[in-house]
Structure 1
Amino acid sequence: MKRAALYLRVSTKEQTTDNQRMELERVAQAKGWNITVIYEDEGISGAKGRDKRPGYDQLLKDAVRAKFDVVMAWDVSRLGRSLAGLVTALDELHAHGIDLYLHQQAIDTTTPSGKAMFQMTGVFAEFERSMIQERVKAGLLRAKAAGIKLGRPTKLLNTEQIIADRKTGKTTRQIAQKYNISIGKAHNIIKTSSDEILRLP
């Protein structure tokens, strides 16, 4: 008998997971699966990452520990809103020999047709990733064409004050911490300033 884990999620506190649970329990009974654990995230959007969804995070951790054989959820949106993120999680489940049952989409990877459907979602996830990359590249090109400077803003530093701090005996590490810059950057500023002083007539 397969050990099943239920994952239930609703986006707002006003909603309830009861309907999802009852229907999935009915399906599990019909398939002869034994529900051994239930994970819930109440009032949490599916757009949030794994770190903001404790129930989902625990489910994936327990999957590694082989605490169940199949994950059951009401529909694909209960697991996540991003197809690419979803497929990454599903790949993780399958890597540990765990199947997936999605009620609304009639996906059951314990069957051959369900496995084929899962493989198709991987194709669409790759397409989604490519589309996102293309949009990002197009956005960067538009920004450059408009004269927008990309990258982190340049931090304005008072090099004279940095040199003064160095002359008072502060170490390069202390200077880096004071101005919130890397030790390498602090070293370069001190070295460059010292070289310029040496070159003065």
Structure 2
Amino acid sequence: MILGYARVSTDDQNLDAQTDALSAAGAQRIFAERISGSKRQRPELDRLLDQLRDGDVVVVTKYDRLARSLRDLLEIVELIDARGAGFRSLAEDIDTTTPAGRLIFHVFASIAQFERERISERTREGLEAAKKRGRVGGRPPALSEAQKAEVRHMRDTELRPIADIAALFRVSAKTVHRA
């Protein structure tokens, strides 16, 4: 059996184009929902996965309708595969019911994983280059060096309670402890 899955993120978006394409692709049953793809709990997707049987094929118009991230897509396709079913994405022309389709799916997944790692690598390189130029990222310190010295003086010499010092400088007790 061919089972279609259609999803839009908001109530004002329309499912008609997806359901029409899934029907044209031979979907005998279509599970449709209006919910963000970032939500892992998607009732219609869960229903579809529960009803999958050996030999079924899950069809989507585009793979991003099924999952928001590569990791999510791989997990869902793995669940589909574990039930003996196949996966088909119309826009990307991916069909895991064939050996060539499985190869293409895994090549795309590998390329996407490589790209994610490259983005992470470029971000680290950019942060290191900025650091070498004297730019420091992150949140500015709550206390200046002079204020930290004053906090230490109040704590050690005046023996003031941490809570009082924190209130005086309008910071948390944790910030005073770190100082």
Please state which band the TM-score falls in when normalised by the shorter chain: 0.5 to 0.7
d(CA) in 2 for partners of 1:119 and 1:169? Answer: 57
Q: 2:132 aligned with 1:145, yes or no?
A: yes
Cα distance, 1:120 vs structure 2: 0.7
Q: 2:22 aligned with 1:24, yes or no?
A: yes
1:167 to 1:147, Cα distance in 2 relative to 1, 3 A: closer
Tell me the equivalent position of 1:88.
Answer: 71
SS at match of 1:6: strand
1:101 to 1:147, Cα distance in 2 relative to 1, 3 A: same
1:142 to 1:62, Cα distance in 2 relative to 1, 3 A: same
Cα distance, 1:18 vs structure 2: 0.6
d(CA) in 2 for partners of 1:62 and 1:162? Answer: 59
Tell me the equivalent position of 1:179.
Answer: 171
SS at match of 2:80: coil
Determine which of 39, 42, 50 is the counterpart of 2:38: 50
Determine which of 100, 113, 118 is the counterpart of 2:87: 100
Cα RMSD over matched residues?
A: 4.0
Deviations 1:76-113 (A, max 9, x none): 344567xxx2x211221133234422112221222322
Name the aligned partner's letter for residue 125 of structure 1.
Answer: A
SS at match of 2:25: helix
Name the aligned partner's letter for residue 179 of structure 1.
Answer: V
User: Quick check: 1:36–1:68 contact (8 Å CA) kept in 2?
Assistant: no
Determine which of 28, 34, 43 is the counterpart of 1:40: 34
Tell me the equivalent position of 2:121.
Answer: 134
Deviations 1:7-52 (A, max 9, x none): 2337894x532121112023234xxxx42622234xx7xxxx614x
d(CA) in 1 for partners of 2:153 and 2:45? Answer: 51
Determine which of 42, 46, 52 is the counterpart of 1:62: 46
Identity within the alignment, %:
24
1:68-83 alignment, distance < 5 Å: 68-69=51-52, 70-79=57-66
Cα distance, 1:167 vs structure 2: 3.5
Give ranges in structure 1 of 5+ residues lacking alignment. 190-201
d(CA) in 1 for partners of 2:134 and 2:162? Answer: 43
Cα distance, 1:181 vs structure 2: 4.9
User: Quick check: 1:6–1:73 contact (8 Å CA) kept in 2?
Assistant: yes
Tell me the equivalent position of 2:6.
Answer: 7
d(CA) in 2 for partners of 1:123 and 1:106? Answer: 17
Cα distance, 1:148 vs structure 2: 0.5
Give ranges in structure 2 of 5+ residues lacking alignment. none
d(CA) in 1 for partners of 2:26 and 2:154? Answer: 68
